[in-house]
Amino acid sequence: MRTWALLAEKGGVGKSLLAVHLAVCAARRGKTVVLLDLDPQKNADGWAALRKSKDVTVVTARAQELPGLLERARQQGADLVILDTPGRADISTAHVLDVVDVVLVPVRPFAFDVHASEKIAAEINAKIASEKRRGRVIHAAFVLNSVPPRGTRQQEARAVLTPLLPVAPVEVHYYMALCDALNDGSSVEEFDPKGNAAHEIRALYRWLAKM
């Protein structure tokens, strides 16, 4: 069983949005997926209430409950657990980093978002180093999200972020389909399967799966 987490220092960067689309992407490829909604806003849980398909199990939880919930997911045969975390880094971040295999940090390519990522990157790097000494490997990367269709903001953001953590080669651009799909509990692959947004989510999933 693999465990992925969406973490960020600030809210509004698209953690819940990416979490649900990646969860469905995995389920559509035959994976048994559990999405743990640790965010008090419960966006993923609200999406699940609208969803007709039960291919993704969504559970609201507190970060302190993670060890028990992960063990239960493992016993029930889950292939992938995705953690949707609160809108800003807090005490729950330490609990998440204790159990996760892959950390994905969504960042919009704008100055406030990029600079806010320095603190979370430092915390992740410190945890990676301490766990490596114990023989445990954590993979972590930024992913540029809500990238404008024009301009060079993403290149500028990459230049600042790369010294902090690796940056995913896949970028997720600003497409309304990513948001519109959530209105009835769908994923972008179901809402607009041939669109660019669905293509980028699939590409991001494939890249994460290889990690």
Q: Is the pLDDT of residue 90 over 70?
A: no
Q: Is the pLDDT of residue 53 over 90?
A: yes
Q: Over 90: is that where the pLDDT of 211 sits?
A: no
**Residue range 11-33, pLDDT digits in tens:** 889 999 999 999 999 999 999 99
Q: What average pLDDT score do residues 124-132 get?
A: 95
Q: Distance between CA 138 and CA 28 in Å, rounded?
A: 26
* Confidence band of 89 (pLDDT split at 50, 70, 90): low
Q: Which stretches of 53-171 are assigned E, i.e. beta strand?
A: 56-60, 80-84, 102-107, 139-144
Q: Where are the domains of the chain?
A: 2-210
Core vs surface per residue 15-38: b (16+ CB within 10 A) or e: bbbbbbbbbbbbbbeebbbbbbbb
CATH (one of 3.40.50.300, 3.40.50.2300, 3.30.565.10, 3.40.50.11400) for 2-210: 3.40.50.300
Closest C-alpha to 148, from 157, 159, 135: 157
Q: By percentage, how much of the chain surpasses pLDDT 90?
A: 83
How far is residue 64's CA from residue 30's CA, in Å, rounded to a whole number? 29
In this prediction, residues 122-141 reach a mean pLDDT of 94
Reported confidence tier of residue 115, pLDDT bands at 50, 70, 90: confident
Average pLDDT value for residue range 177-182: 97
Q: Does residue 149 surpass a pLDDT of 90?
A: no
Rounded to an integer, what distance in angstroms lies between the CA atom of residue 174 and that of residue 167? 18
In the predicted model, is pLDDT for residue 107 greater than 90?
Answer: yes
- The pLDDT, as a whole number, for residue 60 is 96
Q: What's the confidence (pLDDT) of residue 33?
A: 98
Provide mean pLDDT across the span 57-66: 94
